[in-house]
Amino acid sequence: MADIQVTYLRDIVNVLSVTNVVGSDPRTLDVRGPDFSSVVKVEVNEIEAPSYVVMSKTRLLVQVPDSMQNELIRSVNVLSSRMTATDRSQVYFELTDRPQKVTGIQKLVQTFLLFLMRTPGSDAWAPNTGGGVQRLVGSNFSKNATGGITAAFTLAVSRVRTQIISRQARDSRLNTDEKLAAANVLSAIFSAQQTALLARVELISQSGKRAIVGVNL
């Protein structure tokens, strides 16, 4: 059975300036940047904007979410459909009404993330697999023990790397772009204020292709 794509890498586009459009109702932001030609989503203070209009390659008009009409704008993330798998890429789990087959380095990224999220024991066919990081973030850690979460995340990545390499060694159907050679944690920070783990993981395939993905939990 073909693997269906459920993870998507979205590049975060550089934003050069954000200003309020004077007199706009609802509140609208004038966003400037180098290239908005492939925008698929805009987030204001990490909440999806209800609408946006691409005025030109370098200019966006973005409607502020209703809940933030009178709030300070702390961040504007503009997400592109272009997938470069660099340190500006962010992973999104999405189900669409037009499922597509996933192949190549994107298939490797998806395989790794699904293993990383899986709770050990939840798969009847492979009960000893899974990184269990969702359960990890849901655990009760004090503000002084945040280092324990990042250390546990690093260990989970190491376990999943071993699990995937072992399983893929027996699968002759995969090409070298889809087989894992290495997985390295580039950064992992637990924000007690946001109750979120912010991490960057580098994946290297057996063909030598490299993907860097952001994992926010």
Report the CATH fold assignment for 103-216.
Nuclear Transport Factor 2; Chain: A, (3.10.450)
> Is 103-216 in the same CATH topology as 7-89?
no
* Rg of the chain over all Cα atoms, to the nearest angstrom: 19
- Cβ of 114: how many Cβ atoms within 10 Å? 16
pLDDT in the model for residue 1:
38
Inter-residue contact 39 to 78 (CB < 8 Å): yes
**pLDDT tens digits, one per residue of 113-153:** 889 988 888 877 777 888 888 776 655 555 555 677 788 88
Instruction: Tell me what pLDDT residue 2 has.
Output: 45
pLDDT of the residue at 33: 92
Sheet holding 76-80, edge to edge: 47-48, 39-44, 76-80, 7-13, 89-93, 210-216, 196-205, 180-191
Partners of 9 in beta bridges: 91
- The domains of the chain are located at 7-89, 103-216
Q: pTM for the complete prediction?
A: 0.62
pLDDT value at 72 more than 90: yes
- pLDDT mean across residues, the chain: 82
24-62: per-residue pLDDT in tens? 999 999 999 988 888 888 999 988 899 999 999 999 999
**Most confident range, picked from 118-122, 149-153, 164-168, 196-200:** 164-168
Please give the CATH topology (third level) of the domain spanning 7-89.
Immunoglobulin-like (2.60.40)
Single-letter code of the amino acid located at 190:
F
